[in-house]
A = this chain, B = another copy of it.
Amino acid sequence: MIEICEVGPRDGLQNEPKLVSTETKVELINKLIDSGIRIIEAVSFVNKKVVPQMADAEEVMRLVPKRDDVRYAGLVLSRSGLERALHTDVDFLHVVTTTSDSFNQRNAKRTVDQAVEELTKVIEEGAASKGVAGVLGTAFGCPFEGEVPLSKVLNVAESFLKAGCTEITLADTTGMANPLQVQNVVASFQQEFGKELKLGLHFHNTRGLGLANILAGYQAGVTRFDSSIGGLGGCPFAPKAVGNVCTEDMVNMFKGMNVETGTDLEGLVESAKWLERSMERPLDGMLMRAGIA
């Protein structure tokens, strides 16, 4: 059984040039739930001036359906983000740092060590009332530094886990991962933290390797994957980091492989088509164009 963390409403939308209405965001989340999605990265508690698209995080969380079987996560990048998140109904905090100093300086104006120092306190405090997952960006490479030492990624994960994270997601922020690397990194995490560690993988399809990397992660034992409906997505701080792995394309792969995802593929394709109409631009998803085989 695959657990999909749908990041369309957050990582997907945050890069959209046109401001998306709160109503559209809530409708998207409802459609995703109707299609069987149960974990949704719904909002980001980021500086509204930096990412205006996420400014209505509190309002979105007020309007989405509260259901025991749906887990809403909100992105937290700082103490101020935590304080906002704690005043909402998000079930889970996704506390994020990248693992490359060059990238983090550009993205968050601080080194990785500085980020970890602040964020471990954020995690400790957040974990008192919400679940917390640590999200480690540039875990498979940095566009400015190239290779990011695996030891560094493991160290950040260790600090986050000690602070109270119950899950770690490794994010390939700019689409640099390859399947062999995915297998090696996952094996190292399993060796370091045990196979019982709840490990998620977050890939972008920047270089066409999104589904190949998902496959490699699945073969290595990972069952939690981030993806984005319609393949919406990108990172406003990373040029060319467009294209999260597309949810319905990933579900189509797993369905072909007889691996359960708990979702309704037809419903996802219809949601992607609705989203494409709403965004008024072509999305990257392939299945919505080719049709279910």
- Please tell me if A291 contacts chain B, counting CB pairs below 8 Å: yes
Partner-contacting stretch, out of A42-50, A62-70, A250-258: A250-258
Q: In the complex where A240-B291, A291-B240 touch, is A253 in contact with B211 (Cβ < 8 A)?
A: no
Residues of B contacting A287 in the complex (Cβ-Cβ under 8 angstroms): 207-208
B293 touches A141 (CB 8 A): yes
Q: In the complex where A215-B216, A293-B143 touch, is A249 in contact with B180 (Cβ < 8 A)?
A: no
Closest B residue, CB atoms, query A216: B215
- Please tell me if A51 contacts chain B, counting CB pairs below 8 Å: no
A249 touches B208 (CB 8 A): yes
B209 touches A253 (CB 8 A): yes
How far, in angstroms, from A211 to B215 measured CA to CA in the complex?
Answer: 10
A6 to chain B, nearest CB (A): 17
Closest B residue, CB atoms, query A143: B293
B212 touches A178 (CB 8 A): no
How far, in angstroms, from A179 to B179 measured CA to CA in the complex?
Answer: 13
B215 touches A176 (CB 8 A): no
B249 touches A293 (CB 8 A): no
Residues of B contacting A216 in the complex (Cβ-Cβ under 8 angstroms): 215
Q: Which of A141, A175, A212 gathers most chain B CB within 10 Å?
A: A212
Q: Which of B178, B253, B293 contacts A253 (CB 8 A)?
A: B178
A10 to chain B, nearest CB (A): 22
Q: Which of A178, A214, A253 gathers most chain B CB within 10 Å?
A: A178
How far, in angstroms, from A287 to B178 measured CA to CA in the complex?
Answer: 13
Contact string against B for A residues 98-122, beta-carbon threshold 8 Å, 1 for contact and 0 otherwise:
0000000000000000000000000
B211 touches A252 (CB 8 A): no
A143 to chain B, nearest CB (A): 7
Residues of B contacting A197 in the complex (Cβ-Cβ under 8 angstroms): none
A63 to chain B, nearest CB (A): 32
A179 touches B257 (CB 8 A): yes
Residues of B contacting A180 in the complex (Cβ-Cβ under 8 angstroms): 256-258
Closest B residue, CB atoms, query A176: B293
Q: In the complex where A178-B253, A256-B180, A257-B180 touch, is A290 in contact with B240 (Cβ < 8 A)?
A: yes
Would you list 17 pairs from A and B whose C-beta atoms are within 8 A, ordered by A residue?
A143-B293, A178-B253, A178-B256, A179-B257, A180-B256, A180-B258, A181-B257, A205-B208, A206-B286, A208-B210, A208-B249, A208-B285, A209-B249, A209-B252, A209-B256, A212-B215, A212-B253
